[in-house]
Amino acid sequence: MAAERVQSITQHLTGSAAPAASIFTAVETIPLDAIFALSAACLADTDPNKINLGIGAYRDNEGKPWVLPVVRKVKKALLEDPSQNHEYLAIDGLRTFTDASAKMILGAESRAVTEKRFLGVQQVSGTGAVRLGADFLKKIKPNATVYISDPTWGNHFQIFGDAGFPVKTYKYWDASTRGLAYDQFIACLQAAEPGSIFVLHACAHNPTGVDPTQDQWKHIAAVIKEKKHFPFFDCAYQGFASGSLDQDAWAVRYFVESGFELFVAQSYSKNFGLYSERCGCLTVVTSSEAQAAAVRSQLCRINRASISNPPAYGARIVNAVLNDKALFAEWEENLRTMAHRIIKMRAETLRHLTELKTPGTWTHITSQIGMFSYTGLTVAQVKVIKEKFHVYMTDNGRISMAGLNEGNVKRFAEAIDWVVRNA
């Protein structure tokens, strides 16, 4: 009895009574993001011949991260510039950067630019730009449905779903041809409720690497206009896909020339190699200068409530390059270096598979474009190639071509050959 009394007094004095029920009791643990889980598994693998084709980041021919020479040059200049500081940027970011970013994707002579009916708002890379656009569209089109390609970048579902939209898919990949399911894509555009939001990949579709032809883009635009859908482009690879900034911007520019209002989420992770600096921009095309000002004010309100204002360092690097002719030309050369190395790895993969007489058709490896390739391997084959050959790729058979180099591309082709024949 005395012991119980002492315990009671101790609990009273120390506040160590039995805790109340936690508000977190019902919170469930969700799985780690599949891409980052794959990267962690590869990192933990001690096999010296492992090949990481999962993460979407450029590697040089030695398999190492590559800091673009033009980026190194600008970083040094910024470090030595006594006028640089760590003050806040404006809520919509560094205006010289966002203006240059918009002109790069739209074209400096675009009517949207010359008529001042465009705007750019800086965000936390392409992911933040997509989310900013999604949150704003939910305010002005609350009852719309968002259509996303099947397959697509996995984060699209989470971003638009978390913004409150119902999300559906449109058929994009044709497994039988390992190309674009064009007729089914068009059928979905025509069947969707008028005024739907269609998320389109501007170039180098992720994960398939399959882009519509220019004639197909024209038909897609015509149907979108007829059905009064809203086009939301996600552009993570301008210049990185083909090596040409203008070529990779063709679809967006065609839509603008055709009179569309639209969003473009731009990322500078891939084409500048600024993965961790989280530098991006949401570019918007409206019908008038007054509308552009109104939309900017609303996007600033959302930015203020979510990130207050964006980070400066990456934007300053990109800004310096986009607004200097000499640096811009050097950057274009860096882009060609990356794009052409990946194109070469596609050709080498196909060459080795051809020499091995690997069953099936593999020309899609070279007809696809950009960082990723949809190999067509099955889930079972992906499991075997990871366990037996230590080749890491996503379960749907998507690979990052940037992970291949002259030292591992033959081994990779041999691994594919084996699983196709035996798994």
Query: What amino acid positions are annotated as catalytic residues?
Result: 153, 234, 270
d(CA 219, CA 215): 7
**Is residue 394 a contact partner of residue 372, using CB atoms and an 8 Å limit?**
no
**Tokens found for residue 166:** 């119902």
With CA atoms as reference, report the closest residue to 118 among 295, 310, 320.
295
CA trace torsion 83, 84, 88, 91 (10° rounding): 90
Asked, as a colleague might, if the bond just before 311 is cis with ω within 30 of 0, I would say no
**Is residue 158 a contact partner of residue 171, using CB atoms and an 8 Å limit?**
no
Token look-up 């220019």 returns 214
| CA 346-277-281 angle, 5° bins | 85
- Segment holding 400, helix H or strand E: strand 398-400
Is 30 exposed, middle or buried (CB count within 10 Å of its CB: 0-12, 13-18, 19+)?
exposed
Please give the backbone phi and psi of residue 285, each rounded to the nearest 5 degrees, phi first: -110, 125
**Tokens found for residue 405:** 């180099």
With CA atoms as reference, report the closest residue to 170 among 152, 158, 155.
152
Pairing of strands 398-400, 372-374: antiparallel
In the chain, the largest separation of any two C-alpha atoms, in whole Å, equals: 89
307-341 b/e (C-beta count within 10 Å ≥ 16 → b):
bebbbbebbbbbbbbbeeeebbebbbebbbbbbeb
**Tokens found for residue 27:** 């919170």
**Tokens found for residue 238:** 């301008």
